[in-house]
Structure 1
Amino acid sequence: MTRSLTADELVDATTEELATYLRSGAINTRALAESLDYEGLDIDDWARLKRIHFCLSEDVHEFIAKLPERVRRIKTENQRQHVNTQGEVRGSINWSGTLRTWADTGYADRSRFVCDTPYTEYDIAENRVLKRLLWHIHRTVTTDLRGVKYDWRRQYWTGNQIDRFDRLYKHNVHLNRIAAGQQITVTDQDLTAARRSRLDLYTDAYELLDRYQRLQADRFDPDITKLLTETLIIPASEPTLFELFCIFRILRYLNDETTGVQLHPIAGETTALAQLETDDRRIEVYHDQNGAIDFHETLNPEIVPEHSTFRRYQDALVDYTDALRGLTGAEKDPVLYRGRPDIVIEIYDTSSSNDELVAVLIGEVKYSSRAQTFRQGLEELATYRRFAHYDGYIVDNPNVPITSLLITNGYSTDGIADDITHLNGGDLRTADVAVLRSFATNLLTSTPTIGS
């Protein structure tokens, strides 16, 4: 019996693949943000998602936990400012300034003094770095995370921790004497001063702010990919992770097993998760959450089916939409069918001026080893194949071959089917999967041999 991937194995495998593609810059991060399934968050903004990952990291958590004690020893500079006084002395008298003031008034008023008054300066380089960092963290945990009621958020930030940090940030007498975080512009000189500080408060603040800036700039250095993958995986659902893992492994075979193909950074506003190119081919990879393909067929009440069963089904759909409209006011057309494949890979011939679609892969992924789930996926995939060639959903030309893959997590099959190939997720972890190696080799021809 084929062994299923465990949750821990899935996390490790997906982390490894994700780190590779993030560092290469070959993954569309906008599409990735939509694909990651977080409970309680409706986020398709990659920059915002990265801020959340940053605040979920253990280093940030430890920094905020130590902040109440550390901020008591915040660094300041003693300065003196010239103050004109009337009838009083504040600090030491600046006699040269005072004598000039008396001379300007003809020595008529000797109760006026110029004093060198001491004051404590908080607006120094190290504190600007600190306050800017704290502003990034504060706006994220109070705006993006506080309202999330799911267990994964409490694992990182409990309600009490958020409230304590909120009070400290808003009301601490030392932090309040530093400029507002959103108004601070941190310079390279500020960062250097914090990096060279003898206080851990500032060296740690420098490291975190530097990491945050590189993260937002999509500089996927090893520590950045480590941060992302450590926090990226935990809140996501295992079925979504399994889908991404399958996509990444197929990408690896496409990239490694096909001569001349290379992953290319995504440009423009495409919803493709990844794109590969050769001299005369372009391969676009879509995931369910961001794919443009959506099979959607509405009912035409004027067409009456001949078969009595189909007529009853049509009547039931009309009754449903009428009842929905009456009870809720919602206007909704009767829908005969709606579905979307988990994976779609489109191969275009770019050798001519008009890119021509020459092959398509449709994939359905089921994170299950149950026979019932396997049969459900098989039925869905068979339906997708029929719709793909119909009415221009994917393929206008009926001669364009469609490859169909059903991937499950541990379900075993012994036979073969003419139109659909079944794979197991566990098989994708091995170094050589013959069916995928052959699939990758044949994808760049107009007549793939697998499932076509």
Structure 2
Amino acid sequence: MTRSLTADALVDATTEELATYLRSGAINTRALTQSLDYEGLDIDDWDRIKRIHYCLSEDIHNFISKLPERVRRIKTENQREHVDTQGEVRGSINWSGTLRTWADSGYADRSRFVCDTPYTEYDIAENRVLKRLLWQIHRTVTTDLRGVEYDWRRQYWTDDQIDRFDRLYKQNVHLNRIAAGQQISVTDQDLTAARRSRLDLYTEAYDLFDQYQRLQSDRFDPDITKLLTETLIIPASTPTLFELFCIFRILRYLNDETPGVQLRPLADESTALAQLETDDRRIEIYHDQNGAIGFHETLDPDVVPAHPTFKRYQDALVDYTDALRGLTGADQDPVLYSGRPDIVIEIYDTNTLDTELVSVLIGEVKYTSAAQTFRQGLEELATYRRFAYHDDYLVDDTDVSITSLLITNGYSTAGTTDEVTHLNGNELLTDDVETLRSFATELLTSNPTIGP
């Protein structure tokens, strides 16, 4: 039995790969958002996802936990404003202003005074940075996280923590005297004042606000990738994480083993996870969540199978859909087959007028060492390959080669086959996998004779 890749090693390896690709700007973050979706977060907005993971960070938790005590000593400035009064004095009399007022009225009313009235000013530079930061955190925690009823959310923010922070933000007398967070526009001068403050409350607020700005600008400095990978790289299931790890490692081999290849940023409308280019090739990598293809075949009721076994299967599908409709009201056609590959890599010849598709890789990933699951993966690949050439699902030219790749976690095979390349996830941890090295080279430079 081949050694399996442990969950801890998987997280570490995927974190390293993700940080590399985020810094390079070569990963489609919208596609990544779909692949890394948490349970309960139906979000495909990369900016919102970044805000959420920002609020899951340890630095934010530490800052918010210290806030109730710190906000009692919030910085203010003592100011005086000129106030016109009638028959009373508020503060000290501003005699020059008062005499001008009397003169303007011809000294007819000497009960009017101009007073320098003291007041406490909360709307200062440091507090503007603080309040804007708190507003960003508050709207994310209360709007995006509070309604998520899953254990992973409570590991970061319990219901009680959210409620306490909500009350503090809305009801604290000091915070309420600062302008509303959504109305504050933080200037460079505000940030400089916070950065130079002698109070930890403001210097930490500056650091966190600066980090938030860089995160939202997709400036993946080391501290930003550390923040993201510490929280982001925990999708709902380990198998999904394993799929991403495999994609990242294949991407690395394609990038390292192909002369002249470069990772390219993707257009906004692209659904590919990543894209590479050479002088004459474009390579598009898709993951299951955003894959370019999915196979779906419904039953044609007018076609009666000749074989009795197939006829019984057809009848069973009809019985199932009839029963489902009667019990639940769901109205759907009988489905003969439905499936989607975990990985699709499409390779195009960019020297041709229409950028011709020349090669396709279909990959299935199984986070298992079980023989039964290995066989299931092989069966799925065989089905995908047959469907790929059928009714223009994937290719309409039989000259386009289709390569099949099966990756498992710990299942070993002794033999080989021309139809499928089998790899183990643990092998991908090394930088010298000859099978994958030659596989990557062959995928891009030749046309394997693998037809329907």
Q: In the alignment, what sits opposite 2:439? A: 439
Distance 1:12 1:449 in 2: 37
Which amino acid is 2:209 matched to?
Answer: L
Match of 2:78 in 1: 78
Runs of 5+ consecutive residues of structure 2 not aligned to the other structure = none
User: Residue in 1 aligned with 2:254?
Assistant: 254
Distance change >3 Å, CA 27–CA 449, structure 1 → 2: farther
CA distance in 2, matches of 1:292, 1:251: 17
Matched, 1:323 2:323: yes
- Count matched residues: 452
Which residue of 2 is the match for residue 198 of structure 1? 198
Q: Give the corresponding residue for 1:130.
A: 130
TM superposition score normalised by structure 1: 0.98
Question: How far apart are 1:267 and its partner, in Å?
Answer: 1.4
Per the alignment, residue 149 of structure 1 pairs with: 149
How far apart are 1:448 and its partner, in Å? 3.8
CA contact (8 A) 2:235 2:241 kept: no
Unaligned runs of 5+ residues in structure 1 are none
SS in 1 for 2:435: helix
Q: Is the 8 A contact 2:79 2:120 kept in 1?
A: yes
Post-superposition offset of 1:235 = 4.7
Cα separation, 2, equivalents of 1:233 and 1:335 = 35
Instruction: Work out whether residues 418 and 451 of structure 1, in 8 Å CA contact, stay in contact via their aligned partners in 2.
Output: no
The offset of 1:450, in angstroms, is: 9.1
1:98 aligns with 2:112: no
Q: Distance in 1 between matches of 2:233 and 2:121?
A: 44
Q: Is the 8 A contact 1:32 1:273 kept in 2?
A: yes
CA distance in 1, matches of 2:131, 2:425: 47
Q: Does 1:265 align with 2:265?
A: yes
What letter matches 2:147 in structure 1?
G
When the two chains are superposed, the root-mean-square deviation of aligned CA atoms in Å is 1.4
Structure-2 separation of matches of 1:292 and 1:181: 42
Shift in alpha-carbon separation, 1:194–1:432, aligned structure 2, 3 A: same
Q: CA deviation at 1:444?
A: 2.1
Q: State how far apart, in whole Å, the 2-side matches of 1:84 and 1:37 are.
A: 60
Task: Give the Cα separation in 2 of the matches to 1:306 and 1:235.
Answer: 46
Tell me, in whole angstroms, the C-alpha distance in 2 between the residues paired with 1:24 and 1:173.
45
**Cα 1:263–1:53 shift into 2, 3 Å:** same
Match of 1:24 in 2: 24
Q: For the residues of structure 2 that align with 1:24 and 1:411, how far apart are their CA atoms? A: 33
Q: Distance in 1 between matches of 2:238 and 2:328?
A: 34
1:363 corresponding residue in structure 2: 363
> Is contact 1:348–1:358 with CA below 8 Å preserved after alignment?
yes
Residues 58-117 of structure 1: CA deviation (Å, up to 9, x unaligned): 000000000011111111111111111111111101111111111222222211111111
Which residue in 1 is equivalent to 2:422?
422
Letter in 2 for 1:286: Y
Pairing of 1:34-113 with structure 2 (within 5 A): 34-113=34-113
Please give the secondary structure, in 1, of the residue aligned with 2:378: helix
SS at match of 1:315: helix
Does structure 1 retain, via aligned residues, the 8 Å contact 2:85–2:112? yes
Partner of 2:207: 207
In structure 2, distance between residues paired with 1:272 and 1:304: 40
In 2, the alpha carbon distance for the partners of 1:372 and 1:357 equals 34
Please tell me the residue identity of whatever aligns with 1:126: E
Q: CA deviation at 1:268?
A: 2.9
Q: Contact 1:152–1:234 at 8 Å: present in 2 too?
A: no
Aligned position for 2:223: 223
Provide the rounded CA distance (Å) in 2 between the counterparts of 1:299 and 1:415: 37
Question: Residue type of the partner of 1:152?
Answer: W
1:235, 1:76 → 2: CA distance?
A: 44
The structural deviation recorded for 1:289 is 0.3
Q: Given the two structures, how large is their TM-score scaled by the length of structure 2?
A: 0.98
1:198-225 alpha-carbon deviations (Å, 9 max, x no partner): 1100000000010001001100000000
Matched, 1:118 2:110: no
Say whether the 8 Å CA contact 2:362–2:404 is kept in structure 1. yes
Letter in 2 for 1:245: F
| Partner deviation per Cα, 1:135-178 (whole Å, 9 max, x = no partner) | 11001111111111222111111111111100000000010011
Q: Does 1:344 align with 2:344?
A: yes
Hey, what's the Cα distance between the residues in 1 that align with 2:280 and 2:18? 27
